[in-house]
Amino acid sequence: MRRYHLAVIPGDGIGPEVITESVQTLVSLAVAHGGFHFDIQQFDWGTERYLREGAMMPADGLTTLERGGFDGILLGSVGDPRVPDHITLWGLILPIRQAFDQYVNLRPLRLFPGVRSPLAGKHPKDIDIVCVRENTEGEYAGAGGRVHQGTEDEVAIQTTIFTHMGVERIVRYAFEYARQYGRKKVTSATKSNSMQYTMVFWDEIFRQVAAEYPDVAHEQQLIDSLAARFVAHPESLDVVVASNLFGDILTDLGAALSGSLGLAPSANLNPQRRYPSLFQAIHGSAPDIAGKGIANPLASIWSGQLMLDFLGEHEAAALLMRAIEEVLARGQVRTPDLGGTATTRQFGFAIQEQVQSQVAQ
């Protein structure tokens, strides 16, 4: 029996509610499948801990995750109105991405049968995009500073950092992904008309890498018009590779187009597996609905599905994907963001029940 050691960080806001359904789904899937087992260790890291002890995670938190032999980390969400977001995010999620060299942020964006897109006339076949977002450098490298704080002479600088290695590996990942998953085209999000250093550099590397993949079509598009194209012609997009900031924005846009921010998952990957990878919904902690039990757990459950795939449990991953598709298509149980009245628990249970019935078939 294959055993996987999982770290679970429920985090803030709706995080604990959605992560419960994700973990429950994975555990019941493992039991039904019979070929693997999860050992789970939970961590109370997040804003409550910050308010209590002055830090989102312990000083040795990253070491604990690194030495703990974890195969994956499941994270709920981070962010709380009581503390500025840059403190909570730089206290937990961003350091994990950087320290564990999770340089790929893989974000599939799909319109499912049974779900309505806010775009008129768009059907499931029209919205099926995979965004490969750079995740450790670029605009979110964290390089910069403020001087003369609090005076009229104050200056703030935030520097975008692109390294040759960093750009090349994310672009290469996008092409490899396209090859492996039978996708036809990679579109690069750029802004080299105005950013003559970083983005021209990005474009050059993109073209060099693209030349090594003659079997995959490629193109480049300026981020502003690409954003418009997401709305006007999503069907013309396949794999999109983007810098940290551009990918961040495009994926919230794409998630909204696919019917709800409550659907879109992400996988923060260290493809070499030197460090554990982290799986998390794209959405935030949604403090406005936290504690009400109505958050959509699907993004978190789908993130667990991405983890199964990454762990090599392809059969179980396919099974869970089918269950998600099936429950959405049937449309009887759905949370308010999708126009239904179901609770987080009911929606999670519907997926778990569907998984069981597929295994029994």
Taking the complex as a whole, the smallest distance from the CB of residue 248 to Mg ion amounts, in Å, to: 4
DSSP 3-state percent helix, strand, coil across the chain (nearest 5): 45, 25, 35
CA distance 22 to 338: 18
Q: Which stretch binds ligand IPM (CB under 6 A): 12-20, 26-34, 86-94, 192-200?
A: 86-94
Q: Which stretch binds ligand IPM (CB under 6 A): 46-54, 87-95, 220-228, 296-304?
A: 87-95
Q: Identify the burial level of 64 via C-beta atoms within 10 angstroms of its C-beta, where 0-12 means exposed, 13-18 middle and 19 or more buried.
A: middle
Of 6, 282, 298, 319, the one binding ligand IPM (CB under 6 A) is 282
For ligand IPM, what does the binding mask look like between residues 242 and 261, x meaning CB under 6 A?
------x-------------
Taking the complex as a whole, the smallest distance from the CB of residue 203 to Mg ion amounts, in Å, to: 24
Long-range contacts (CB closer than 8 Å, 24 or more residues apart) made by 138-146: 138/162, 138/166, 138/198, 138/243, 138/244, 138/245, 139/243, 139/244, 139/245, 140/94, 140/244, 140/245, 140/248, 141/244, 142/90, 142/94, 142/98
Taking the complex as a whole, the smallest distance from the CB of residue 42 to ligand IPM amounts, in Å, to: 21
Q: What type of residue is 49?
A: R
For Mg ion, what does the binding mask look like between residues 12 and 51, x meaning CB under 5 A?
----------------------------------------
Residue 89 interacting entry, from ligand IPM, Mg ion, none, C-beta within 5 to 8 Å by type:
ligand IPM
Of 137, 139, 248, 313, the one binding Mg ion (CB under 5 A) is 248
Q: Is 134 in the site for Mg ion (CB under 5 A)?
A: no
Q: Binding residues for ligand IPM, how many (CB under 6 A)?
A: 5
Q: Identify the burial level of 255 via C-beta atoms within 10 angstroms of its C-beta, where 0-12 means exposed, 13-18 middle and 19 or more buried.
A: buried
Of 31, 32, 62, 89, the one binding ligand IPM (CB under 6 A) is 89
User: Which residue's CB is nearer to ligand IPM, number 133 or number 183?
Assistant: 133
Residue 216 interacting entry, from Mg ion, ligand IPM, none, C-beta within 5 to 8 Å by type:
none
CA distance 284 to 299: 11
Residue 92 interacting entry, from Mg ion, ligand IPM, none, C-beta within 5 to 8 Å by type:
none
User: Which residue's CB is nearer to Mg ion, number 103 or number 349?
Assistant: 103
CA dihedral 35, 41, 42, 45 (to 10 degrees): -130
Residue nearest to Mg ion (CB): 248
CA distance 345 to 297: 8
Question: Which residues contact ligand IPM (rule: CB under 6 A)?
Answer: 89, 93-94, 248, 282
